[in-house]
Amino acid sequence: MGRHVVVVGAGPAGLGAASGALRAGARVTLLDAAERPGGQIHRTAPVELGGPRLELAWPGLAWWAESSVWAFERSGDGAPLVHVLRGGERFALEPDALVLAPGAHDRVLPFPGWDLPGVYTAGAAQALAKGECLAVGEKVVVAGSGPFLLPVAASLLEAGSRVVEVLEANPASTVLRGWGRPPWQVSKVGELAGYAALLARHRVPVRMGRTVVEARGDGRVEEVVTARLRADWSVVPGSERSHAVDAVCVSHGFSPRLELAVAAGCAVDGFVRVDGDQRTSAAGVFAAGEVTGIAGAPAAKAEGLLAGWIAGGGSPRVPALRRRRDQGRAFARRLAAAHPIGDAWKEWLRPGTVVCRCEEATYGDLCRAAGDQAANAPRAVRLATRAGLGPCQGRVCGPTVAEILGSPPAHHRPIAQPIRLGELAAPVREATPDER
Ligand SMILES: Cc1cc2nc3c(=O)[nH]c(=O)nc-3n(C[C@H](O)[C@H](O)[C@H](O)COP(=O)(O)OP(=O)(O)OC[C@H]3O[C@@H](n4cnc5c(N)ncnc54)[C@H](O)[C@@H]3O)c2cc1C
């Protein structure tokens, strides 16, 4: 048998990587913390699971569901030892190459009232609408930035909500300039045109250069305040309008899940840095999908295929795979240009606005700690306010706190996923040949 490749994450990128490595003749262990393969896009739409062919019965492939990778350990020059928790048992896998495909989570910027019940991340609202056929509210505003707002609004309409308006924070000039960059990705543009047509049929206005800057209500959201924004996302004075709603869905793009890559020793610059072969800076470690750039499922799969193929020992002369990967990267650049996050969003905050929801640290707490001469280093500010140190370990507020403090986000954790002390103390069990 050829090389052993461990792939972490069974979203489009991880499935692509497993398939690429198997085609190169490698033996593959594909792991995911979730019960089923498919990643974020299929998790929000279980009815579509029969659609894409998730070929997990290939010879040479071991599929490990509900298995979390929580640490890596380096001993030699090759790929690191991969520590896995599966069904309460600890395993340590020793691959020849490791492909990281842990994806991204949806990002939400804080604003006054964003912590009221009735304010949802767009991803959560979509999961409820598509997965459970549940509408988060009767009258809903969808706001933020990025093309993801359109499928979310479409899912809400299908679940029976009235979508009052969809608000893209960037002005039309920025969005059109970004999307106008060649080359075009016809399938994505067609998909977005389909959502736009659905919204038009339901007479849902899509406004650009406007966003939700406040949610108000007694115990839950009853009203939102929207405002026109300049290109840097500062509010145009006097442009505020309020609407009665019972739910708000917000999304400001996606944040890559960098904890595993940082734990494996990979260089990151906002995303995991990879070379033309999807190799990271850490020996024996490859990365693919949204952890290297946000470009949607087809791009993630194309990166995964190339990463898996090379990790599995395939020949580097694969022009068709490289072309597909390059198209995905071009799409990522287009998305980033069309839907940037304007620096002036912090102007929406008030001193009492909660920034870190786990520890209830407010914008005022962060500003006070940052202004304190004795504790103005970002690490000291985090320790003083506890921002980012709660149960989510900064996965939600990390990029926001970093932008407020003007420092890089803190991703380094010796233990990348929560693990119980009893599990940590348990002996490592060797995988049987069937499991491998
Ligand atoms: C909430 C949400 C909803 C979305 N809805 C849509 C949509 O409707 N339409 C659309 O075009 N795009 C949608 N997207 C974007 C789309 O999901 C991505 O483009 C695509 O899934 C990226 O693929 P990926 O393989 O890089 O990551 P993902 O699909 O995110 O897969 C990563 C996988 O890694 C696993 N993982 C992470 N860490 C670990 C660990 N430590 N141990 C084990 N497993 C781990 C996760 O469980 C996950 O299954 C959505 C994204 C999100 C976040």
Note the pLDDT of residue 182: 66
How remote is the CA of residue 417 from the centroid of ligand 1, in Å? Answer: 17
Q: Write the pLDDT tens digit of every residue in 408-423.
A: 776 667 777 777 888 8
CATH number at residue 93: 3.50.50.60
Ligand 1, pocket-test mutation among 41, 84, 301, most atoms within 8 A of CB:
41
Closest residue by Cα to atom 14, ligand 1, is: 41
Note the pLDDT of residue 47: 35
Indicate whether 355 and 325 sit together in one domain: no
User: Ligand 1: residues whose CB is within 6 Å?
Assistant: 8-14, 31-34, 39-41, 44, 68-69, 101-106, 123, 126, 151, 254, 257, 260, 289-290, 296-297, 300, 416-417
Q: Write the pLDDT tens digit of every residue in 14-31.
A: 999 999 999 999 999 999
Indicate whether 116 and 244 sit together in one domain: yes
Band (pLDDT 50/70/90 cuts) for residue 52 is very low
Note the pLDDT of residue 375: 56
Note the pLDDT of residue 219: 95
Closest residue by Cα to atom 2, ligand 1, is: 123
Q: Using the predicted structure, report yes or no on whether residue 200 has a pLDDT greater than 50.
A: yes
Indicate whether 131 and 244 sit together in one domain: yes
Indicate whether 132 and 228 sit together in one domain: yes
Note the pLDDT of residue 50: 36
Indicate whether 350 and 329 sit together in one domain: no
Which of 317, 336, 355 terminates a domain? The answer is 336
- CA 40 centroid distance within chain: 9
How remote is the CA of residue 106 from the centroid of ligand 1, in Å? Answer: 9
Note the pLDDT of residue 49: 32
Q: Average pLDDT of 37-65?
A: 68
Q: Using the predicted structure, report yes or no on whether residue 225 has a pLDDT greater than 60.
A: yes
Indicate whether 142 and 248 sit together in one domain: yes
Which of 252, 268, 296 terminates a domain? The answer is 252
How remote is the CA of residue 39 from the centroid of ligand 1, in Å? Answer: 4
Q: Average pLDDT of 309-316?
A: 96
Ligand 1, pocket-test mutation among 40, 43, 68, most atoms within 8 A of CB:
40
Indicate whether 141 and 181 sit together in one domain: yes
Q: Write the pLDDT tens digit of every residue in 378-387.
A: 777 778 888 8
How remote is the CA of residue 3 from the centroid of ligand 1, in Å? Answer: 27
Structural domain range at position 79 = 4-105+255-336
Q: Write the pLDDT tens digit of every residue in 126-170.
A: 989 988 889 999 999 999 999 999 999 999 999 999 999 999 999
Indicate whether 114 and 244 sit together in one domain: yes
How remote is the CA of residue 24 from the centroid of ligand 1, in Å? Answer: 25
Whether 83 is in a domain gets the answer: yes
Indicate whether 91 and 117 sit together in one domain: no
Q: Using the predicted structure, report yes or no on whether residue 300 has a pLDDT greater than 80.
A: yes
How remote is the CA of residue 374 from the centroid of ligand 1, in Å? Answer: 41
- For the record, the structure tokens of 130 come out as 């598509």
Whether 233 is in a domain gets the answer: yes
Closest residue by Cα to atom 42, ligand 1, is: 68
Band (pLDDT 50/70/90 cuts) for residue 75 is confident
How remote is the CA of residue 76 from the centroid of ligand 1, in Å? Answer: 31
Mean pLDDT score of the chain: 90
Nearest ligand 1 atom to alpha carbon 14: 25
| SS3 assignment for the chain | CCCEEEEECCCHHHHHHHHHHHHCCCEEEEECCCCCCCHHHHHCCHHHHHCCCCCCCCCCEEEECCEEEEEEECCCCCCCEEEEEECCEEEEECCCEEEECCCEEECCCCCCCCCCCCEEEHHHHHHHHHHHCCCCCCEEEEEEECCCHHHHHHHHHHCCCEEEEEEECCCHHHHHHHHCCCCCCHHHHHHHHHHHHHHHHCCCCEEECEEEEEEECCCCCCEEEEEEECCCCCECCCCCEEEECCEEEEEECEEECCHHHHHCCCCECCCECCCCCCECCCCCEEECCCCCCCCCHHHHHHHHHHHHHHHCCCCCCCHHHHHHHHHHHHHHHHHHHHCCCCHHHHHHCCCCCEEECCCCEEHHHHHHHHHCHHHCCHHHHHHHHCCCCCCCCCCCCHHHHHHHHCCCCCCCCCCCCCCCHHHHHCCECCCCCCCC
Q: Average pLDDT of 305-315?
A: 97
